[in-house]
A = this chain, B = another copy of it.
Amino acid sequence: MSDGFMNQVYLPALDDIFAASRRIEGVAAKTPLVESPSLSKRFGRRVYLKLECFQPIRVFKIRGAYNKISQLSSKNIVAVSSGNHGIAVAYSSRLLGKKCTVILPETAVQEKVNTIIEYGAEAIKYGKYTTDRDAKAKEIVSKTGATLVHPFNDPDIIAGQGTCGLEIANQLDDFDSVIVPVGGGGLISGISTAIKSLKPKAKVYGVEPQGAPKLQAALKAGKIVTFDSPKSIADGLIPSAVGELTLEACRKHVDGVYNVSDDEILAAMKLLIREAHIFPEPSGAAPAAVLLANRDLEKLGEKVVLVISGGNVSLDLLAKTITDDD
């Protein structure tokens, strides 16, 4: 999609996801999908992990960002991000020879800020609220003619994230359900579009932190619901609302949304590190928290895929998670 059509909003379909898959080839990894025998044993069903933490930037967001930016003619890119989206946009922009500016909250995790700078982007810490940063981004766009890349409410971003769903459908012949972390809803919109086309019998569930139930609220209200101060240890899952596009995609394709507490997310991180020997960030551990919290496991079926969306976790938190007694 060229710049001129950015405001024409449509839901991506399976063909768009296939096209995205060709565009991101060689840039985003086809990440591993592995069964965790110890989680399978523990939960009495086969548990598979889709390991987006093995992306080159350790998080799925490279799929959407590269799919989007590789189609833009603009030489200047701007993103507003608490971290992972900024990393993905910075990384993709550098590969594509574009100048990139990322506007972050003052509370952004320092390791993520450093990574953005390391990828050659300008990182601007600005303002307390998302609305401040959105205003700053618009200012830069109008001054420089840069293109703003939205983290989720964009058909090219959604189609890019959908390639994760394509891979799951290729990697596993049959499965009953997939659980996907929900921030703004880009990942679950893309994955559910792919899965419902290719494996129509499989269920797709979202998971949100209790402090930021944006999708659950929006699905219930039938419209976007904005949260003034969404809170969670899962820093990738706390935008203030889902988008019009992602809400529409989820309304069509998503079978339900689970709710987990921060304590459950932390316990899930411990479980994944200790038993599955992977390093998820809190957002990436949320799907395992659904199993651990024993939320209605029957409906998940005999074969469950957990999308471990990312692994940008600090060594401090890792060490604490491994050494904590419980």
**Which A positions have Cβ atoms within 8 angstroms of B?**
29, 31-32, 34-35, 37, 51, 53-54, 56-58, 274, 277-279, 311, 315, 318-319, 322-323
Q: Which residues of B contact A54 (CB under 8 A)?
A: 32, 34
Q: Which residues of B contact A277 (CB under 8 A)?
A: 53, 58, 278-279, 311
Set B37, B51, B278, B319: member contacting A319, Cβ < 8 A: B319
Please indicate which of the listed interface residues A31, A37, A54, A277 has the most CB atoms of chain B within 10 Å of its own CB. A277
How many identical subunits does the complex contain?
2
Q: Check B35 against A56 for contact (C-beta < 8 Å).
A: yes
- Shortest distance between the CB of A310 and any CB in chain B (Å): 11
Set B29, B274, B315: member contacting A315, Cβ < 8 A: B274
Question: Which B residue sits closest to A54, measured CB to CB?
Answer: B34
Distance, CA A35 to CA B315, complexed state (A): 20
Q: Which residues of B contact A279 (CB under 8 A)?
A: 277
- Shortest distance between the CB of A318 and any CB in chain B (Å): 6
A29-B34, A274-B315, A315-B322 given. 9 additional CB < 8 A pairs?
A31-B32, A32-B54, A35-B56, A37-B56, A37-B57, A277-B278, A277-B279, A319-B322, A323-B323
